[in-house]
Chains A and B, each alone.
Chain A
Amino acid sequence: MVVSGGIFSESESRTETLSARKTFPTGMSDSDVGPETVEHIAELARVELDEEERTLFAEQFEDILSYFETLDEVPETDREPELTNVMRPDERRQSLDQDEALQNAPEAEDGQFKGPRVS
């Protein structure tokens, strides 16, 4: 199975700062999902949380993650996924024009998206 398709799915490359394989501070154990850990994950995911959400999520994540841990009982399964490359000719074709692409942007300038400063 190939996981791709559609304009929405093709814009992942710009989010490399959010991609997988983030590292946690050492010494964190499975049962240690306190508000600090939640805050750290939230930072990595670029979602700000308030105090109440941090406390609530810390509580709920204990339950949910310990339920997920029953996956330990799953045997290692060897199964080749049916993956095939789906290619198309590398030719120009119709896409959204600039105005259409910008029409939902909260801010645009000179035909470009306008974002906050990078650092």
Chain B
Amino acid sequence: MSLNAYITEARIEGGDGPLASKTVAVKDNISTEGVRTTCGSAMLAEYVPPYDATAVERLLDAGATIPGKTNMDEFGMGTTTETSAFGPVENPAAPGHVPGGSSGGSAAVVASGAADLALGTDTGGSVRCPAAFCGVVGIKPTYGLVSRYGLIAYANSLEQIGPIAPSVAEAAELLEVIAGPDDRDATTHDARDHGTDYEFGAAADGDVEGMEIGVPTELLDGADEAVVDQFWAAIDELEAEGASYHEISLPSLEHAVEAYYVIAMSEASSNLARFDGVRYGTSGGYDGNWNETFARSREEGFGEEVKRRILLGTYALSAGYHDKYYKKAQDARAWVQGDFDAAFEDADVLASPTMPITPFEMGESLDDPLKMYLADANTTPVNLANLPAISVPIGDGSGLPVGLQLVGPAFGEKQIIRAGSALA
């Protein structure tokens, strides 16, 4: 049975280094020189980048072999990998269910063993959700830790490239390879300027003795019972290893999903304006003027979810609605950031279920976009606050994979890796 996890299978051989003999699959929105990069969209079905993303360059320099480009929700817009123009991906850990999204293909190849490791991208949970749904590990780095050069943008202020792996230690080692400042992405930071270093692999020592874990109650309230049971079992395990926990309330998190979607859609409406069928992308050579031709090429090249988000983003930025939606969403973003800052005064990491639910059945959420958006309640606050987070597998809820999310302060990757490695 094919999982449909790759859009393009093409072997790209790396040099020699710490990842020699490892295969690292790459999500299809990360540019690979000479190998087509589609973003899961008909718009870019034939697009072949003339250069490598910085993260890809670093993989190859580290000796990795790239076995192919993985399937994804179109332009990263989805929580199930069902919006791909190349068809849905099957979850190898839960047949008949979605693998999560948008990096569903990357999580599926790691979970099935088709690749040793993979890169995904996380704008509102797109690494952590599929990691949780497929029973593997995924890390969303601090904003600015990993270069976005060559990542085809969806929502620049929120997204990061992140590793997916079978274990926390392997995910940490892959993060070590791709992290670091890049003069081609002005938003990157050097972790060493923030009181830490890049020794992520060494941080996976499982030592949680004396660690204080905060549990935001807002992120448990709407979760399925089976998920909550697994969550507390994992907290018990961390307690047994020497950590302690306390519950906290972060009221801003109640508004994170809507703030996230307003900001992400607004940025998307601007970012995706570049797909005009002239420099790249679908073009029919239609008759008519520039505006008409442009609109028709986008009608043909974009799928339904992408159109929905471009339109809602255009609306949210428009005169008369900008203050009501976009400006309020920025207020909410600042509020979420403030709440997290306060929480980290008394906690080393914060814990929640990664997803409030177990994987959807295939097709279940396709006709109800709002239902799909609400599933991102626990992951989106982290992107709004630019923080690092990891999802680690913590067993089954009613026979389906469940993930634990651990959130750290900015550039606190080593803390979440250390905590996560006590479990997986």
Residues 287-341 of B at the A interface (beta carbon under 8 Å):
288-296, 298-299, 302, 304, 307-308, 310-312, 314-322, 324-325, 328-329, 331-332, 334-335, 337-338
A101 to chain B, nearest CB (A): 7
* A75-B47 in contact (CB<8A): no
Query: Is B232 interfacial (CB 8 A cutoff)?
Result: no
* B312-A61 in contact (CB<8A): yes
* A116-B274 in contact (CB<8A): no
A110 to chain B, nearest CB (A): 15
Selecting from B89-97, B112-120, B144-152, B222-230, the interface stretch reads: B144-152
A64 to B282: give the CA distance in the assembly, Å: 29
A75 to B339: give the CA distance in the assembly, Å: 13
Q: Which residues of the partner chain A approach B328 to less than 8 Å between Cβ atoms?
A: 71-72, 74
A104 to chain B, nearest CB (A): 4
Query: Is B277 interfacial (CB 8 A cutoff)?
Result: yes
Which of A67, A106, A118 makes the CB contact (< 8 A) with B290? A118
How many residues does chain B have at the interface if contact means C-beta atoms less than 8 Å apart? 85
Query: Is B8 interfacial (CB 8 A cutoff)?
Result: no
Q: Which residues of the partner chain B approach A78 to less than 8 Å between Cβ atoms?
A: 334
* B261-A6 in contact (CB<8A): no
Query: Is B143 interfacial (CB 8 A cutoff)?
Result: yes
Query: Is A31 interfacial (CB 8 A cutoff)?
Result: no
Known: A8-B152, A48-B295, A86-B186. A41 touches B315 (CB 8 A): yes
* B255-A74 in contact (CB<8A): yes
Q: Which residues of the partner chain B approach A21 to less than 8 Å between Cβ atoms?
A: 317-319, 322
* A41-B314 in contact (CB<8A): yes
Which of B187, B279, B298 makes the CB contact (< 8 A) with A47? B298
B47 to chain A, nearest CB (A): 5
Q: Which residues of the partner chain B approach A107 to less than 8 Å between Cβ atoms?
A: 278, 283, 285
A115 to B314: give the CA distance in the assembly, Å: 24
Can you name the residue of chain B whose Cβ is closest to the Cβ of A71? B328
* A46-B291 in contact (CB<8A): yes
A18 to B129: give the CA distance in the assembly, Å: 32
Q: Which residues of the partner chain B approach A104 to less than 8 Å between Cβ atoms?
A: 46-48, 50, 279-281
* B290-A70 in contact (CB<8A): no
* B322-A53 in contact (CB<8A): no
Q: Which residues of the partner chain A approach B46 to less than 8 Å between Cβ atoms?
A: 104
* B262-A68 in contact (CB<8A): yes
Among A44, A100, A104, the one with the most B-chain Cβ atoms within 10 Å of its Cβ is A104
A18 to B311: give the CA distance in the assembly, Å: 12
* B270-A18 in contact (CB<8A): yes
Query: Is A73 interfacial (CB 8 A cutoff)?
Result: yes
Q: Which residues of the partner chain A approach B1 to less than 8 Å between Cβ atoms?
A: none
* A47-B304 in contact (CB<8A): no
Can you name the residue of chain B whose Cβ is closest to the Cβ of A21? B319
A93 to B252: give the CA distance in the assembly, Å: 45
Q: Which residues of the partner chain B approach A7 to less than 8 Å between Cβ atoms?
A: 51, 149
Known: A18-B270, A77-B331. A116 touches B293 (CB 8 A): yes
* B298-A48 in contact (CB<8A): yes
New A-B pairs, 4, CB < 8 Å, besides A4-B187, A74-B259 = A3-B157, A4-B186, A7-B51, A23-B318
A residues bordering B, Cβ < 8 Å?
A: 1-9, 11-12, 14-15, 17-24, 38, 41-50, 53, 57, 60-61, 63-65, 67-79, 81, 86, 88, 96, 100-101, 103-107, 113-119
Can you pick out 27 interface pairs between chain A and chain B where the beta carbons lie within 8 Å of each other? A1-B143, A4-B186, A5-B156, A6-B185, A8-B153, A19-B270, A20-B318, A22-B314, A23-B319, A44-B318, A45-B269, A46-B276, A53-B304, A61-B311, A61-B315, A64-B369, A65-B315, A68-B262, A71-B258, A74-B255, A75-B335, A78-B334, A103-B48, A106-B281, A115-B293, A116-B294, A117-B289
5 residue pairs, one from A and one from B, having the closest CB atoms: A5-B185, A48-B299, A86-B186, A79-B334, A104-B280
